[in-house]
Every structure is written in structure tokens, then in C-alpha cells.
Structure 1
């Protein structure tokens, strides 16, 4: 046999024994062709409504304020915020007074969205929205001690939120304030990670660590931070390659699922950071040269004594992508572009296919490319998880005004839903349905207490493959979902069959607010990686 024949035979054998490429999954549907605004910011509320808004100086939107209202001292009588009712698939316009452009926010324990900062007259504003069918935004002038634009927020175990950074704001503060004289402590880490020409540390990635400290990632580095003492507890290695991952190089990040057993974390606490744009990409894009986005992810066990980044390669490079935790513990990477950076007219080549990342698989078999949308979602696009397991997708406006014609990527006013493959009809016999206890809206869970959940599955059930997860509803903007976390609760092999197709599982709530700050969560029963529709629960002290 010749060398070339041997080479050919070897190649054929390798192909025959290679693992099959996963088939694309998931499906898309257009929910509304227009919501009147571009959904730049998005928050799911515990009544299955979603608040969305863009900015007040975009020009006139495509939805009017109700009852002939106009914003004070303005000729703009259009809305720049709306409330979307998931159940009825309808929109209600809201009145926002000051500019919410590139702001941030947190869903508070009482179910109200407390939103902070913005541009110009919105720099130091605090805005509160509590949904009630006829309610509207309430604004607090000078509710912040510093100007906050491109800041990140996180709910804390004490029920307050911390607001970190922002453009030229190398400090942090809290809301609500403990006193009128409460100040804004300096945060040198933001100075150290700041590139004065690009500011690649805006919208830093912030996650609550189970000891009560905060993991903060900015530019290409991360620390563990004790905000109560204003001290760095641990410094992590720079991500290999040293490429920037935060706005405007805009990658995304998640805290991977926290698995609980007898009140402690099983295995490790891990963070995953994906995508972004290389050094120099911002300057190049402003000069008409659009660098390819990063195709790497960095994963790090932040709980290790000697943590190190492990790098992985995505099947699709992505900048301005959103990363969402799905109820079964997988990570969905969605939206974005394959070239350029975040900013007006600075992104190119939209990436239309989401990618699913399976954290528990072996390296090399974690990514799966899903079916594409037909709508580019580039700069200022958003995505949030809904209670039924779908992902709501909106936004995309890479222009400084509403532009619908004669531009490369028109302003997008539509609202879509991406249904992951676990919602396919082929999985219906595996899908649990929660039927009783807890069944009422906003069921109250106490830390460390056990709760029995009854559910029904139409097909055969493997009781060893049933789990219970809790997902916090996140505030999404600029490719980062603030306050996002998923906990896999301790069920201790408690799943029992009660009767035909009816089962009970007993789950233990998280032990403290360090694991899950008090507030509203979506609780799911998961069977063979197929989640039930969620129910709202409320963690209480």
C-alpha cells in the first residue's frame, strides 16, 4: 500500500470514528413586529411582565405616550419605555422623564426595578418602577452621589444594591443609602484597569461570591473584593492573551451554576468569560477597519487556592453577545457581531446563530451551534430568560437616532423569542409540569428550609435525573446580565413516585443571602435536562 493510500485510509477511519457534529436545535418566532422602541435595556418582573427602554434623546419613537401626555419641557410625546405582558403579548407605553441611556439596574426584593444613572440629566437619577397595570416610573433627583454611566449593579445580601464604576467613576456606592452623608468609596482596581483612550473596563462583570465578597472582572483582569472594608481579598491572573473583554470591546460573562449539597457548594465556584474584541479594535473601527471578534472563552475556578484560566474556543467569534443561564444549567450565547466593537456604526457581520455551552461536558464537546434568527441583533440588543423557558430577544440600534432606511443595520423595534431545543415537541414526554406546593404566586421560601414540590411527567421518569434549579431574573443591557445566578438545590435523591405520572421532590433552599440574596427567583424542576415551566418564588430571611 502506498503512502497516499495509507493516508487516505487513515483519514476515512478517523472520520468514521469522530464524534458526530451536534445538530442545530432551537427555534425562533417573532412575537411583535414592533414595540415602538429599541429594547436597549430589559428586566423581567415577578408578574411575567418585562420592562424595556432605550433613551430619551433618540428622537420620536414609534409609540405614543398614553392620554396625549408629553414629557415635561419637551415636544417629544412618544414613549421611550414600555412594559411587555408576556401572557397577553401586548405592550403598554411608560413615561420616563430623564435620559436612561447606558444605565443599569437591579430587581429589588420587593419586586420593584430600581434603575440608576444614565446620560446628561440622568447621570445621578434613581428611577423606580413597580408594576401594577397603571403604574409608571418614579424618579428621584440626585439619588446617587456620583454620576453613573456604563456602571454595573448587584443585589447584596443585606437587600441593598451596589453600583460599581461607570465612565470616569472609579468608585462605588449603594442604594438605598444608610444616611444622607454616605459617600462613594474609591475603587483603585478601576483605575488600574482603565485604558484612558478606550476605557475597556466599563460595565464590569460583577458576581456575588458565596462568602459575601464580590468577584469583579474589568478589561482582562479580576479580583475578589470585600466591599464592606474596601479591600481586595484575592487577585486573579490576567486572562491569557491579555485581550480586553469589557465595553467597548464587549464580551460577556456568567457565574456558572452553583450546586448545593448540605448547605455548601459542591465542586468549585466558576466564572466563564466569552468573546470580545482585540486590543486596538476600537481605534481601528473608528477608522473604518473592523477587526475580527475574539473566539475564545476563559473559564476559571475562582474558589481554588491557585486559580488559573482555562481557555476554550467558540465555534463562532462574537462581540456584543449576551450570555444567559438556562434553567437546565446550560449557557446560551446569543446576539452580537463577528467584527468591530460596541459603539455607533462600529460593528460588522452580525452573528445570527446562538450557541449553547454545556459546562459539564468535556472540553472540546461543550459548544453546540443553534438555528439562526433572520434578524441582526448588534449594538444595543438584549435578551432575558422567561418563566416558560423561552428567551426574549429585542433591540439593536447601532445609530445615534432611530434609523430605518439607508443604513447597513436598521434600528430594530421587533421582539422575538428563541425556544431552546428542550422546548421541542420531541421532548414533551420528558417535560415536568409543577402542579402543587408551592403553587401560589411568589411562594415564600426560607433559607435552609425544605420544600416539597409535586410535578407531573407524561412519559417515563428517571428519578436519578431530576433536579431543582433557581434562577434570578437579571437586568440585561450592553451584553451583560446583572444579578444573574443559577443554583442547583440539594434534593438528596428525594424524588418519589406518588401515582401515575405524578411525583414529588423535596428541595432545600439556599442557606443564606450570600448564596441567594433575598428576592424573587424562578424555580424549575428539570428532568433529563428538560426543564418545567418555572414558578415564581421569593427568598426571605
Structure 2
């Protein structure tokens, strides 16, 4: 016969298992109207979010402050516009203020720089050669550098490099790349034949290419349905990867998404580097959508170990077909797939059938058991939607405007100005006792290969094997791709030891080099039983 204590333990274990199985996240509406639709988003190191949209669709729903007006004789709609097309959202106060961007930032790209400044590049019309800089403060605003770019950049991809500059790859009818800042005024753009080879002349299915910094310092670049490992310093292809099985395009306008899977540091090195590419639209979907035929989205993901000598794609099937979905690395190493539709293509009015349910992908689970459907939103997030991870572990979600102008009536998917947050299941209140809290005396600035002590609090018994520490680079998100996104699992998670009542410390070793973690701000999390703490901002380099 069981003792009362034994019965209680069985009951508690049953409750924990039940909560874990049924907690699939929840949605919270943060703002019913932020004034603009969130086409581009970047989390800043002061817990504010920079959001902006195109400038040439006419007036937005929020005025510029103090009677300011944007005067632009090149604008296609308004030569004088007294509304804002950019805002800064303060997470802590759930408030926002309008910003003034002068030239058109439509379908542009950006990187967060090591000093916490965002450097944004290109756009459309009079903005296609412009570099814009934003440094956050209570009164700060955009600063613009005319002719900051060598070539026109529209639908390009940016990535921060180990040396602190950013590379800007491709863009519409731009089969080349360049660097910012330039080393000299005479520096030219570099031709990039791979973008010619992967270009469909009628579709340009290689826009917003997926670019990731490999741990050897080279770039993994995926465009259309092919990928290479590229030495940008010598303009040389190091390796050509197999075409993704099926051969369907995954970049804009087919618009799948991709992530660099978590990088695990073992004995001072990263030996396994993997990329996951999911969703998109099949061949011909963009042309068919223009004719009123909306093909079903792709249901497949391709996973490839790019560090292997003979890498091969391993294909997996998502529970929900999806295009225009965003893929985000969560602090515990899971991947969240969110937003998008299940038919048609990216582009004006070309997407159909919103996918309201996010999906979590668990990279370390066995093949066939990696996906879990999450709680649905009530808001369709179609073309021009965005999503970013923030420090408290939530994902902020905004945008959706499949129209050339703001359009709220008599359309399938009205322009969306609502701003919401998705809380993954690890934020369920019934799991709060297992959630670590990082103590304020933990170190926040360090170099490469340093030993660092992180102190945290958690209630109940802690198994050192259930604790690990992650670092997440805040990404720039637009058009279903999060640029510069990477997550590192630091070495030393099993060194956890108690230092007082409900208090612990863990000694970890920071990333070994700037190839693994370019110098910048990161979010650091302590993860206990797959439940991450609230993050703290750290700076490496």
C-alpha cells in the first residue's frame, strides 16, 4: 500500500507532466493600434523595439511630434507627409513614440552594430542608396547618410561580420555584395555569380537570401533552392551544397524561412553546425497567384549539417503547410515557426488561408517527434508581418499589410495595426517555480574564451545536468527572415552548484572567437528543465 508521501509525489509528477503537455502558449494583445504596420523590427539593447514601414503609401495612423512634416519631392503619394512611418516601442511601459524617417525604407535590411546602434541600408525610390543610423535614447531619431551605399539595395540581406562591419548581399537586380562601413571612398561592390546562377529571370526567387556566419568565418548562403559556403574576403566559393530535395524555391517571393540551429560549444569548439529551412511556395506559385490560382504552400523542412565533409539534406514534414512564416530561436534552443499563410505566394494580395497556429520545433528530439502545434492567434499575419524574441522570453508579433496602401475595409486581410505577444509554454504560471532568476551580481561584459560565473535563484531541487546557459543574438526581422540570428549553448552547464538557500551558480566558458559570436550585445539566459530565465543583456568582444 502506498504511503501518503508516495501518493503526493505521484500526484505532483502527474500535474507537472500534464501542465507541460497541455501548455502550448498564450496570446496577449499589447496595443490595438501602434499607428503603423510593422514591416521591419529590431530589438535594441535597452529593451526597446525599433519598428518601421515604407514611407510611400500615403499617411499612416500616427502623427509626427511637434508639428513636424516630412518633405520629399520624390515621394509617389505625398510630397509633404506629417505622419510617422517609424516608431520606437518601449517593452517595459508598453508604450511607443513616433520617429521620423525621411527616405523610403520599403523592403530594406539592417544589422545591430557592436555599439548598440542599428545601421539600416537601402529601400526603394529615393531610399535605395541611403544608409540610416539609429541610436536609442528618449529623444533620439533617425540620421540618414545619402549615397551611403555603392549600389541600389532593395530586398537585400545584411549580416554582421567578425571584424565589426556588415556585408550586404544581393537585392533586386543586384548580383553583387558590398560592405558597410567602407574602408575607403574608392571601394567597389563585388560581383557574385551565385546570385546570377540562382536567379529566375521572371521571378527573382533568390531575394532576401538566407545568410549565416559559419564558425569557420565563412558565410553559408542559401538562395532559391541552392546553397554555398562562401569566403567573402577572397570572393571565393569554398563548398557547394546539394540542391534541397524537391527543388522548390524557398526565398522571396516563395518566402520560406531559415535558422542556424543552436551552436553547442564543447571543449572550446563548435563541431556541429546545422541549418534548417522550412516552408515556402512551390515552383510557379507566384505566377499562378497573379492569375488567381493559389497553390498550396510547402509542408517540408530541410535540415543540413553544413559542417560535414559530405553534407546531405534530411527532409521533415511540418504539421501545417506554411509560407511567409517567421522562424525564431527561443532561449531554450527550440525553434518557433509563426505567422504566414498556407496558399499562394508573397506579394500584393497573393497570399491566402492564414496559418493562425504557431509550431514549435525541438531540434534535439528524435526525427518525427520534433513538432508541436501551439495555441492559435485570432489575428491573421500575412504579407509584411514580423516577429522578434524579447528579453522576458515572449515573442512580439506585428504587421500584415498585403496592400499597396493602408486598407482596412472590403479586403480579405485588412492592414493590421494591432501589436501582440506570444508567450511560449515555458512562461506558463504553473511552471514559475522552476523558472530561474539571474541574480544582479552576474558578470555582463566579457571577452572570448573567458570563464564566467552566472548566479541565479530557483526553487526546489536543481539537477546540474538540467541546467545550461544560452546566448542569443537579437535579430533584425523582415519578410520572414531574421538576419544575424544565432544561439550559443555555452560550455559548463553541468558545473552548477548551490551557494545558499535556493541560490546557485554556474561557471561557463564564453564563445571561443568572433567567428562563433561576433562582438555585439547578446541576451544571456539560464535554462533549467527547458525553462529559461528572463534574459540579461551581456556584451562580448
C-alpha separation in 2, matches of 1:271 and 1:280: 25
- Deviations, residues 39-86 of structure 1 (Å, cap 9, x unaligned): 000000000000000110121111000000000243210000000000
- Deviations, residues 404-441 of structure 1 (Å, cap 9, x unaligned): 111100000011000000000121111000013326xx
Partner of 1:489: 490
- Cα separation, partners in 2 of 1:24 and 1:274, compared to 1, 3 Å: farther
For 1:322-361, what aligned pairs fall within 5 Å after superposition?
322-361=326-365
Q: What's the offset of the Cα at 1:258?
A: 0.2
Q: What's the offset of the Cα at 1:262?
A: 2.1
C-alpha separation in 1, matches of 2:380 and 2:463: 40
Say what the alpha-carbon RMSD is for the aligned residues. Answer: 1.0
C-alpha separation in 2, matches of 1:464 and 1:279: 46
Partner of 1:521: 522
Given the alignment of the two structures, is residue 125 of structure 1 paired with residue 144 of structure 2, yes or no?
no
Partner of 2:6: none
C-alpha separation in 2, matches of 1:537 and 1:472: 10
For 1:2-401, what aligned pairs fall within 5 Å after superposition?
23=22, 25-73=24-72, 74-266=79-271, 268-401=272-405
Q: What's the offset of the Cα at 1:183?
A: 0.7
Q: What's the offset of the Cα at 1:493?
A: 2.0
Q: What's the offset of the Cα at 1:22?
A: 5.8
Q: What's the offset of the Cα at 1:444?
A: 1.3
Partner of 1:17: none
C-alpha separation in 2, matches of 1:385 and 1:288: 35
Q: Is contact 2:465–2:493 with CA below 8 Å preserved after alignment?
A: no
Partner of 1:15: none
Query: 5+ unaligned residues in a row in structure 2: which ranges?
Result: 1-19, 73-78
Q: What's the offset of the Cα at 1:492?
A: 5.5
- Deviations, residues 194-247 of structure 1 (Å, cap 9, x unaligned): 001000000000000001000000000000000000000000000000000000
Q: Which moved more, 1:70-79 or 1:208-217?
A: 70-79
Q: Please give the secondary structure, in 2, of the residue aligned with 1:222.
A: strand
- Deviations, residues 349-405 of structure 1 (Å, cap 9, x unaligned): 000000000000001100000000000000000000000000000000000000011
Q: Is contact 1:436–1:453 with CA below 8 Å preserved after alignment?
A: no
Query: 5+ unaligned residues in a row in structure 1: which ranges?
Result: 1-20
Q: Please give the secondary structure, in 1, of the residue aligned with 2:438.
A: strand
- Cα separation, partners in 2 of 1:313 and 1:23, compared to 1, 3 Å: farther
C-alpha separation in 2, matches of 1:342 and 1:133: 36
- Cα separation, partners in 2 of 1:422 and 1:22, compared to 1, 3 Å: closer
Q: Is contact 1:252–1:323 with CA below 8 Å preserved after alignment?
A: yes
Which of 390, 398, 409 is matched with 2:413 structurally?
409
Q: Is contact 1:59–1:401 with CA below 8 Å preserved after alignment?
A: yes
Partner of 1:473: 474
Q: Is contact 1:41–1:477 with CA below 8 Å preserved after alignment?
A: yes
C-alpha separation in 1, matches of 2:221 and 2:199: 14
C-alpha separation in 2, matches of 1:361 and 1:115: 37
Query: Size of the alignment, in residue pairs?
Result: 516
C-alpha separation in 2, matches of 1:481 and 1:247: 14
Given the alignment of the two structures, is residue 504 of structure 1 paired with residue 505 of structure 2, yes or no?
yes
Partner of 2:441: 437
C-alpha separation in 1, matches of 2:165 and 2:445: 20
Q: Is contact 1:37–1:53 with CA below 8 Å preserved after alignment?
A: yes
Q: Is contact 1:24–1:369 with CA below 8 Å preserved after alignment?
A: no
Q: Is contact 2:464–2:493 with CA below 8 Å preserved after alignment?
A: no
- Deviations, residues 501-525 of structure 1 (Å, cap 9, x unaligned): 0000011110110000001000000
Q: Please give the secondary structure, in 2, of the residue aligned with 1:436.
A: coil
Task: Give the structure-2-normalised TM-score.
Answer: 0.94
- Deviations, residues 163-200 of structure 1 (Å, cap 9, x unaligned): 00000000000000000011101000000000010000
Q: What's the offset of the Cα at 1:459?
A: 2.5
C-alpha separation in 1, matches of 2:520 and 2:139: 23
